[in-house]
Amino acid sequence: MAAHAAAAAAAAGFVQQQVPLSAYTTWKVGGPAAWLAEPGSLDEISALVQWARSERLGLRSIGAGSNLLVADQGLDGLTLCLRRLQGSRLEPQDGLIDALAGEPIPTLARKAARAGLSGLEWAVGIPGTVGGAVVMNAGAQGGCIADCLESVVLLDPEAPGHTRELKAAELDLAYRHSKLQLEPWIVLSARFRLNSGQDPAVVSARTSANLHSRTSTQPYQQPSCGSVFRNPEPHKAGQLIEALGLKGHRIGDAEVSPLHANFIVNLGHAQARDITALIALVQDQVQRAHGIALHTEVKRLGF
């Protein structure tokens, strides 16, 4: 009873009800979370998980809400947004970085560059957090998380007082995939090993060049989830879609970006159902024309 009371008291201070998740996704769509909390420490996460268990609530965690499509009707249970769980520690001599799950990936890439650590230059334009990037094995411009990830620290919601560490080799990392996508575990932090002893000015210049390349070729200033479809190698999803003249095609306020065909942007008032319908239309036309099945990178919640 004492543990239950402590967890309830800790949770009561910052759990909100019926919070629109459109404010928590980069697509700016999504219905309300029945319960939502933004813990800023590991103790707060543990207390919230215990509270959710005591209330028999379903539980999920999100980061910056990129690569995420939340249904218009919203989500039941407790949603933990970990974007406040920030912080990192760099060891330039060894090339090691320990980062909490909510640390923004672009921030980490910049810190690494300034410390003369190479290996995250590709990540500067990804609008996500460390936790989300690990779960998705995020990547861009020829690099990905699997290239430099050493290990992750996880919380098992079934045992909220206990954490476990898994090595990268235990995560089944593949193209935009990890076993964490199939498990209820919550990523608390990650350790990376980068190439040390680099010239900070040179690494920073490469990082800035990668960001410029991304912002000049992708709809960086419009709400989107990043790339919608996985590339069906050796083909590029964007090229297959563009070849069908689908750039600019709209359903409601969801539009295939005129700048990059592998992006669907929200023109202002798109709903999740509009985006879902546009994804299905693109998949159908690419299948009919090219005989290729496009699979999404997007994680869908509430459908």
- The residue extents of the domains of the chain are 2-81, 88-217, 237-301
Which residue out of 176, 191, 193, 214 is catalytically annotated? 176
Which residue out of 61, 227, 255, 257 is catalytically annotated? 227
Report whether pLDDT(238) > 60: yes
pLDDT of amino acid 4: 52
DSSP 93: T
pLDDT tens per residue, range 257-283? 999 999 999 999 999 999 999 999 999
Report whether pLDDT(2) > 50: no
> Which residue is associated with the tokens 């942007």?
265
- Tell me if residue 297 is catalytic: yes
183 vs 109: CA distance, rounded Å: 27
Segment 145-172 shows an average pLDDT of 92
- Tell me if residue 165 is catalytic: no
User: How does DSSP assign 69-90, residue by residue?
Assistant: EE-TT-EEEEEEE-TT---EEE
178 vs 243: CA distance, rounded Å: 31
Instruction: Return the number of other C-beta atoms located less than 10 Å from residue 27's C-beta.
Output: 25
Phi-psi region of 176 (alpha: psi -120 to 50; beta: other; left: phi over 0): left
Segment 93-102 shows an average pLDDT of 96
Which residue out of 44, 103, 121, 297 is catalytically annotated? 297
Q: Which CATH number among 3.40.50.2000, 3.90.78.10, 3.40.50.720, 2.120.10.30 corresponds to the domain 237-301?
A: 3.90.78.10
300 vs 222: CA distance, rounded Å: 20
Report whether pLDDT(178) > 50: yes
Segment 108-121 shows an average pLDDT of 96
Residue 67 Cα distances to 47, 62, 195, 246, 276, angstroms: 27, 10, 28, 21, 13
33's enclosing H/E stretch is strand 32-37
pLDDT of amino acid 241: 98
- Tell me if residue 114 is catalytic: no
CATH topology of domain 88-217: 3.30.465
Is the preceding peptide bond at 160 cis, omega within 30 degrees of 0?
no
pLDDT of amino acid 162: 83
Phi, psi angles (nearest 5°) of residue 69: -120, 115
CATH topology of domain 2-81: 3.30.43
Check: pTM over 0.85? Answer yes or no.
Answer: yes
The mean predicted confidence, pLDDT, of the chain is 93
Residues 6+ apart with CB under 8 A from 236: 262
Q: What is residue 301's three-state secondary structure?
A: strand
pLDDT of amino acid 142: 86
Residues 6+ apart with CB under 8 A from 10: 43, 44, 47, 48, 51
